[in-house]
Amino acid sequence: MKKRRLITRSIILVILLGALGYTLYSNFFMSKEKVKVGSAAPDFVLTDLEGKKHQFSDYRGKGVFLNFWGTWCKPCEREMPYIERQYQHYKNLGVEVLAVNVGESKLVVEKFAEKYGLNFPIVIDKNQQVLHAYDVDPLPTTFLIDKNGKVVKIITAPMTEREVRDYMEMIKP
Amino acid sequence: MNHVKCECGHVNPFGTVLCENCGRALAAEGEGNSEKLHDMRYDGSARRSQTYNKTIVDKVWNFFSSVKVGVWLIVITLIASAIGTIFPQELYIPSNVTPEQFYKDEYGILGQLYYQLGFHRLYGSWWYMTLIASIGISLVICSLDRVIPLYRALKNQGVSRHESFLKRQRLFSESYVDNIEKNVEQVKKNLTARRYRIREENGNILAEKNRFSRWGPYVNHIGLIIFLIGAMLRFFPGMYVDEVLWLREGETKEIPGTNGEYYLKHHQFILETYQKEKEKDVFQEAIDRVGDGSVAKNFQSNVTLYKKQGDSLPGEEPKLKEVKDFSIRVNEPLKFDSYAVYQVNYKLNELNKMTFDLIDKKSGKSFGKVVIDLLNPEKKYDLGNGYAVEIASYLPDFYFDDEGNPATRSRVPNNPAFVFKMIAPDRPKGETSFVAIQQTIEPNENNKYKMKFSGIETKNLTGLVVRKDLTLWVLGVGGAIFMIGLIQGLYWQHRRIWLKADNGKIMLAGHTNKNWFGLKNELDIILRDTEIQKPVDQKQLKE
């Protein structure tokens, strides 16, 4: 009788507190981002300025520095030369840079790439589908993806050149 | 556990105040207690939480079982909710300032404090949600702890009650009558006519009606709990969607929140106003008062809904199948599956195309037109005969940045500016000029050619909201049960009448859980044509 009472009470309390716990957990701790650190980076296909198609899954085996940017975004503009310089070094070590423009006109992107002499592939996400798939909010956002296609780190702040180097070092296969 | 055995022989659970069977006072109240009236709350049953307090589970249980705690939880929640309305919540402040700045600038020290204490996002804070959930837990446990013993007590109640029980009821009378049997028969007849259920035992009568009214508050609580569960369900993935979608005319985009399953194409946005000549005569005065054409009549987006066929990778052109054409208007959303797309916003006349003439400055002669798509300009426009225009630079939303350089604020063509390179047979290297709206700057002042602005094309944008709410029916069911419980408890009363005939004496006692006035009036009818005295309200006597 006493034991039954304890068990009933315990079960009811566990259910009630569990419901509260789940609500709080799902609201505050479960990240709502579709792409999380440790999860597989979603595949996509985009065309670069030369008209060449880049399928993300073809980069398996290499570290990918996936940068989302726009020409009007000042921090994006600042970090582009850093990325270019480090790319020149790390491309021989198996790190690829893929710069995803958030759907501007080809002309604007081309002029930008010319201005800064960018050599890494720049693809334009015309309908922002990749942007949605990666749930990118602030610009610039950079995803570091290792050789197995797993997201290692997500950077949502502007980077210094030193940070760019450290991050590329991180995903070197 | 120690059971309590009453004088009548009935064994009651520990903590019982009034014997379930005969109604004699037990334990604390005691026979010799001078208390005049019984406390009939929960019918004197044992509220177990008050009696067991051993393990930690019991302690938590007892905490939530207290109505006092429940009331305090509600009071604290009320105060917190009120504080949340003093200044606007973060959701409703302008998005171009940081919340920290906004509250400080707008409301001073108090605003700063408000922000630092986290009241700017109060209703989603962990402690606010914990408070609400605690009220829910308190509701469940309080109800369980009271409804079960009460149910037990009412189910096991004896028909023959002890004299002391009857005497301590609020309504009580003692009558000496000549013919007990005749009087009792008449009362029984009257009781039946008033739709009482009658139980008899050794010349004792228990008449009872509307016991179900006692369950009203608990039914009401069940409704509340279902309502709270419904509110909680919103946090489960896939239950609730609330997204914004902006579409230019002619644009097709994925509908957010549908996992890429649906696409929407926007054909045309229509904003109609009330026009003087088009409306009936009665409206003329009203239209005149506010101004002709300044009252909106209709906001409408003509759209086509598409469903994606097969799998496609993000970035790939998806295969789309047309589902339906629809005109979304205010309060007439586009509905599909469990989604609804509402008209909520619009932007008129966004620049879309600009037309220029390449002219000779002196003669004004045109060498051809250039139509520039502002969302996707070409690199070079060939005009034939050796004339061409190249775009050396394009700034869709032109401004001068901190360093005084021309820059763009966004990718939206709000204020387009170009650097043109005008090529002509006599200027094979081209002349450069910077052209923005209403201004032309030439680097070397002596250009022969000029890009003369000749016209614009604009497009409208529609602002839509995508909604999906699978929790609504749960809220509806909860609300309905809530109302049923409320009605059940409010419009009926649980009434009981005890009759004990003994040695030429008839004792009569009455109890109701509310509306004593009603019971007294009913007793007048029940005692009609009998010699039994009308019971006295002992509580009123005391006062």
The model's pLDDT over B220-237, given as tens digits with 9 standing for 90+, comes to: 999 999 998 898 888 787
Q: d(Cα B497, Cα B205) in Å, to the nearest integer? A: 8
Q: Does A64 reside within a domain? A: yes
What's the rounded Cα separation, in Å, for the pair B417 and B435?
6
Q: What is the pLDDT of residues B48-73, one digit of tens each?
A: 555 566 788 888 888 999 999 999 99
Question: Does residue A18 sit in the same domain as residue A68?
Answer: no
Do B199 and B221 share a domain, yes or no? no
Q: Angle at CA B493, nearest 5°, toward B491 and B499?
A: 155
Same domain, A20 and A90: no
Which of A44-48, B78-82, B310-314, B348-352 is predicted with the least confidence, judged by mean pLDDT?
B310-314
Judge contact between B538 and B172, C-beta under 8 A: yes
A6 in any annotated domain: yes
ipTM: 0.80
Q: Give all strands (DSSP E) within B470-537, no chain letters.
A: 495-502, 505-512, 536-537
Pick the residue from chain A with its C-alpha nearest to B408: A72
DSSP-assigned letter for residue A48 = B
Task: Verify that A107 and A58 share a domain, yes or no.
Answer: yes
A50 lies in the same domain as A9: no
What's the rounded Cα separation, in Å, for the pair A167 and A151? 12
Share of chain B above pLDDT 70, in %: 96
Residue B457 lies in a domain: no
Same domain, yes or no: A143 and A84: yes
> How many domains, in total, are found in chain B?
5
Which residues of chain A register pLDDT less than 70?
1-2, 30-33
Quick one: DSSP state of residue B48? G
Pick from B326, B349, B372: which residue ends a domain?
Answer: B349
* A19/B229 Cβ within 8 A: yes
Does residue B456 lie within any of the structural domains? no
Whether the CA torsion A163, A164, A165, A168 is positive or negative: it is: positive
- Per-residue pLDDT, averaged over B153-179, amounts to 89
Residue A60 and residue A127 in one domain: yes
pLDDT at B441: 83
- Residue at B466 is within a domain: no
Is it the case that residue B30 has pLDDT exceeding 60? no
Mutate to test the interface with B, among A127, A131, A137 (most CBs of B within 10 A): A127
Q: Which of residues 83-122 of A touch B (CB under 8 A)?
A: 102-108, 110-111
Same domain, B428 and B480: no
Verify whether the Cβ–Cβ distance B314 to A24 is below 8 Å. Answer: no
Q: Identify whether B273 is part of a domain.
A: yes
In whole angstroms, give the CA distance from residue B39 to residue B514. 14
The pLDDT assigned to B540 comes to 79
Strand partners, B355: B371, B455
The verdict on B41 and B83 lying in the same domain is yes
- Provide the residue range defining the domain that includes B313: 240-349
Q: What is the mean pLDDT of residues B137-144?
A: 92
Lowest-confidence region among A82-91, B157-166, B296-305, B517-526? B157-166
- Average pLDDT, rounded, for chain B: 89
- The residue written with tokens 């919103």 in the block is B234
Residues B226 and B344 in one domain: no
On whether both B144 and B17 belong to a single domain, the answer is yes
Q: Which of B1, B144, B313 to mutate to test the interface with A (most CBs of A within 10 A)?
A: B313
Query: Which residues lie across from B390 on neighbouring strands?
Result: B380, B421
pLDDT score for B49? 53
Number of structural domains found in chain A: 2
Q: Choose the mutation target among A16, A77, A132, A136 for the interface with B, i.e. most B CBs under 10 Å.
A: A16
Q: Are residues B330 and B421 in the same domain?
A: no
Q: What is the pLDDT of residue B163?
A: 87
pLDDT band per the 50, 70, 90 thresholds, residue B24: confident
Q: Same domain for B505 and B519? A: yes
B264/B361 same-domain check? no
Nearest to B391 among A12, A71, A107 (CB): A107
Answer whether A58 touches B (CB < 8 Å).
no
Residue of chain A whose Cα is closest to the Cα of B130: A20
Lowest mean pLDDT among A27-31, B32-36, B433-437: B32-36
Residue B322 identity (one-letter amino acid): E
Same domain flag for B480 and B339: no
Per-residue pLDDT, B32:
46
Partners of A114 in the β-ladder: none
Q: What is the rounded distance in angstroms from the CA atom of residue B275 to the CA atom of residue A24?
A: 53
Tell me the shortest Cα–Cα distance from B126 to chain A, in angstroms.
7
pLDDT tens string B175-196: 998 888 889 999 999 999 999 9
> Taking 50 as the threshold, does the pLDDT of residue B529 lie above it?
yes
Same domain, A66 and A126: yes
Question: Do both A149 and A84 map to the same domain?
Answer: yes
Judge whether A90 lies within some domain.
yes
Could you tell me if B265 and B367 lie in one domain?
Answer: no
CB-based contact, B260 to chain A, within 8 Å: yes
Q: How confident is the model at residue B29 (pLDDT cuts 50, 70, 90)?
A: very low
Look at the block and give the residue holding tokens 């050796």.
Answer: B386
Q: Phi then psi for B360, rounded to 5 degrees?
A: -85, 125
DSSP characters over B341-362: EEEEEEEEEEEEEEEEEEEETT
Asked if B299 and B373 sit in the same domain, the reply is no
Rounded-to-integer distance, Cα B305 and Cα B303, Å: 7
* C-alpha separations of B109 from B112, B116, B122 in Å: 5, 10, 18
Say yes or no for a CB contact (<8 Å) between B313 and A44. yes
Residue A37 lies in a domain: no
Q: Do B126 and A102 touch (CB under 8 A)?
A: no
Q: Which of B329, B349, B369 is the last residue of a domain?
A: B349
Q: Which residues contact B13 (CB under 8 A, 6 or more apart)?
A: B1, B3, B4, B46, B48, B149
Residue A16 lies in a domain: yes
Cβ contacts of A9 on chain B, cutoff 8 Å = 57-58, 61
Instruction: Write the pLDDT tens digit of every residue in B371-390.
Output: 999 999 999 999 988 899 99
Residue B147 forms part of a structural domain? yes
CA pair distance A69, A64, nearest whole angstrom? 15
Question: Quick one: B363 and B231 in the same domain?
Answer: no
- CATH number for the domain harbouring residue A99: 3.40.30.10
Across A32-36, A37-41, B253-257, B319-323, the highest mean pLDDT is recorded for B319-323
Give the structural domain span for A21: 1-30
Judged by phi (left if over 0) then psi (alpha if -120 to 50, else beta), residue B366 lies in beta
Within a domain: B470:
no
- Does residue B330 have a pLDDT over 80? yes
Calpha distance B171→B543 (Å, rounded): 14
